[in-house]
Chain A
Amino acid sequence: MGLESAFGDEPAFVPYLAAGDPNYEDSLAYVEALAAGGADAIELGLPFSEPIAEGTTIQNAIVRALESGMTVERFFEFVEDLDVDVPLVCMTYYNLIYQYGDAEGPRPFVERAADVGLEGFVVPDLPAEEAGPLRDACDEFGLDLVFIVAPTTTSERLERMREQVSGYVYVQARLGVTGARDDVDDATEESLARIADWDVPKAVGFGIKTGDHAERIVGAGADGVIVGSALVDIVAEGYENGDATDEVAGRLEALARELKAGALRGAQERPQPERT
């Protein structure tokens, strides 16, 4: 299928949830709710104990998932158990990929990921300089490797990423760590302009929480929006209040619909590209 297939004629909505948050069964239902709400691809967090790129919301999700027994092997089972027909991306930290491989490097992890049907990876603590072995393994098994472009990324580093990126490029909307915020940052437009001629789709993430917000991001030229913390907040609230699984799933599906609709509105506002 390939990750690029998620970015067709319309802007893509790419939600994130930590797999196993707050437990295995509920988490399956929540991810499926996102697909039902119009997700075009889904980023599944494989929880790592030291997630240095995440804000409080996702850190707490990771703690809940680990405490309810999520492991690397359970994660692969989770992907197999999911009943969704959109591409799935594994978002995790390099140590887990590396340890699974042992002396062989990242290859065994990628092989297993391909085996369970994952389409690619986002690894926030793996810079392009260190990504060679993972890139090679992805090529071997036909998986994509997504890189994150930050507002502070230098032109030199952009070139290094451009050589290795596939699937989509993750444009970090602002400095800092993940977490929902209200406004749209100038840095987003600047980043999109800097990579306008790349031939992979550009998805913007970090801080998007409403349909209007998604609309403005797509209006600014993004090919898709990535939304994590605003969705994880719904899971966290449901967990704290002891709400029924289907109620929480319903809220997730509703927000997913709002975000997807916002993205679609955003696409109508911008000048039509030369698509046939």
Chain B
Amino acid sequence: MSTDDAHDPKFGEYGGQFVPEALMPAIEELADAYERYVLENEDGFMDEFRSRLADFGGRPTPLQYADQLSERYDTDVYLKREDLLHGGAHKLNNALGQVLLAKYMGKERIIAETGAGQHGTATAMAAAHLDMPCEIYMGETDIARQRPNVFRMKINGSEVVPVTVGRGTLKEAISETMREWATTVENTHYVIGSVVGPHPFPKMVRDFQSVISEEARKQAIEQTGGLPTDVVACAGGGSNTMGAFAEFVEDEDVALHAVEAGGSSLQVDEDEGVAPNSATLSTGDEGVLHGARTKLLQDSDGQIMESHSVSAGLDYAGVGPELAHLVDEDRVRPVTVDDDIALEAFHRLSQDEGIIPALETAHAFGYLEKYHDDLGDTVVVNVSGRGDKDLETVIEETTKRDLDIAPDMSILQRMGGSGL
């Protein structure tokens, strides 16, 4: 658990509680519950959380030595296998924590937003596991491109509510869920999916996710006799990033690399309000979005840009306020990896290590390929999720690009359609 002041809604200049008045009592109630149950383990909350993470989630996840990558980059590469967590991504750490907290708070209903569908599926699983009714708000563009996750949420018994405003992606889904919460705060908890939003969400989500770095730190010491030189994680909103970094922040010799989606270009189209990337930490400016002051992709007026990435889970115009702060403090180094390099890295990890990563995660491995000369001799990469959900996108995007590394998929055309 981090040692910062739980009462302070800020990380330096970032963070805060920029929300409509109707939501204020809800986030004040939540801040109180966070302090009592999460930080002080009242009623044994954290004990039950950790026990359910083990039994239901399958923790701890391994820290695995990656033979082929270590040889390729001539450095020891270790993989923190969050893809092996129940549901196939790190998202369950947070979803299970928040749904359980909602139960301790006496709430009767769960709502959540989802972009790629990973947080939605994790919340749907946690809600089914803990017997809570659950509604997931999802942009209609994302519903179309993440169909398998829509099925999973519905199969777990959750309602999926389409969000049709704007471009129909994550930022619209977050706005819509906040609106819904403003109507139902008295009996409903909003399970936010990342280290974003008003205080206490960024701290609370970080604390639920910090089990990743707590384990990885201990495992690294056990397996290598010391701390790693580098920790690498992809960054969209930043929940796996903060989860992988939190327990290393005080270890000043450990370099922390946040890999953002460079998309197709780092240039922005101000007239169209489009940033063809999601590189908020690397290129964004300070502003206020979704309840927090943080770094944003925005035009000169302050209108929020439409972000783009081949990876739906990184496709967000904001970022967690704590990450923005750690970047300003030079504690976290933000870097970008574009769509092409991420796709190549997806195939490389699949072929060399037998692990099909999420496209989000593939960005972290793209960074390894591009910049391994800058890294030290023991590198931990957070494998934030597995890539089953992305197969359709990967086949389509790979075919478009004619990547040398990609397998020959023509067999599917001969069989008539992808069949996925």
Contact = CB atoms under 8 A, between A and B. Distances in A.
Nearest to A75: B301
B290 A50 contact: yes
Nearest to A148: B21
Given A50-B175, A98-B287, A172 B21 contact: yes
A113 to B, nearest CB: 15
Contacts of A52: 19-20, 175, 178-179, 290-291
B301 A96 contact: yes
B22 A175 contact: yes
Nearest to A51: B175
B336 interface: no
Nearest to A74: B301
Contacts, number: 118
Nearest to B22: A150
A177 B182 contact: yes
A181 B298 CA distance: 34
A165 to B, nearest CB: 12
Interface in A129-149: 129-130, 147-149
Contacts of B267: none
Interface residues of A, number: 42
A71 B166 contact: no
A127 B22 contact: no
Nearest to B172: A50
B355 to A, nearest CB: 36
B387 interface: no
B190 to A, nearest CB: 12
Interface in A94-109: 94-96, 98-100
A126 B175 CA distance: 16
B51 interface: no
A49 B305 CA distance: 9
Contacts of A60: 165
A71 B179 CA distance: 24
Contacts of B25: 150, 152-154, 157
Contact of B302 (A54, A63, A96, A150): A96
Interface string B284-304: 010111110000101011111
A95 B20 contact: no
Contact of A95 (B21, B166, B171, B289): B289
A152 B179 contact: no
Interface string B173-201: 00100110011111000000000000000
A95 B16 CA distance: 13
A73 B285 CA distance: 20
Given A50-B290, A52-B175, A95-B289, A124 B185 contact: no
Contacts of A95: 287-289, 296, 298, 302, 304
Contacts of A1: none
Contact of B22 (A71, A73, A129, A152): A152
A53 B287 contact: no
Interface size band for B: 35 or more
A189 to B, nearest CB: 17
A59 B175 CA distance: 11
Interface in A164-204: 172, 175-177
B24 interface: yes
A48 interface: yes
A125 interface: yes
A176 B183 contact: yes
A72 interface: yes
A71 B273 CA distance: 12
B287 to A, nearest CB: 5
A181 to B, nearest CB: 11
Given A50-B289, A53-B182, A177-B179, A127 B19 contact: yes
A59 to B, nearest CB: 6
A176 B179 CA distance: 7
Contacts of B186: 152, 175
A63 B167 CA distance: 11
A93 B183 CA distance: 19
Contact of B303 (A54, A59, A66): A66
A176 B182 contact: yes
B8 interface: no
B18 A127 contact: yes
A48 B179 contact: no
B28 interface: yes
Contacts of A59: 165
Interface string A52-74: 11111001100100100001110
A67 to B, nearest CB: 10
Contacts of A66: 303
Nearest to A156: B28
Interface in B245-303: 273, 285, 287-291, 296, 298, 300-303
Contacts of B179: 52-55, 176-177
B21 A150 contact: yes
A148 B20 contact: yes
B210 interface: no
A172 B22 CA distance: 8
A126 B182 contact: no
A194 B285 CA distance: 41
Contacts of B28: 154
A77 B184 CA distance: 39
A125 B19 contact: yes
Of A55, A125, A157, most B-chain CB atoms within 10 Å: A125
Contact of A99 (B22, B182, B273, B287): B287
Nearest to B17: A127
Contacts of B178: 52
A49 B300 CA distance: 13
A164 to B, nearest CB: 13
B298 A99 contact: yes
The 9 A-B pairs with the shortest beta carbon distances in the complex, nearest first, are A99-B302, A176-B183, A150-B22, A53-B20, A152-B25, A95-B302, A150-B21, A49-B303, A95-B288
Interface of A: 48-56, 59-60, 63, 66, 71-73, 93-96, 98-100, 124-127, 129-130, 147-154, 157, 172, 175-177
6 contacts: A52-B20, A98-B287, A127-B19, A127-B21, A130-B17, A175-B183
Interface of B: 16-22, 24-26, 28, 165-166, 171, 175, 178-179, 182-186, 273, 285, 287-291, 296, 298, 300-304
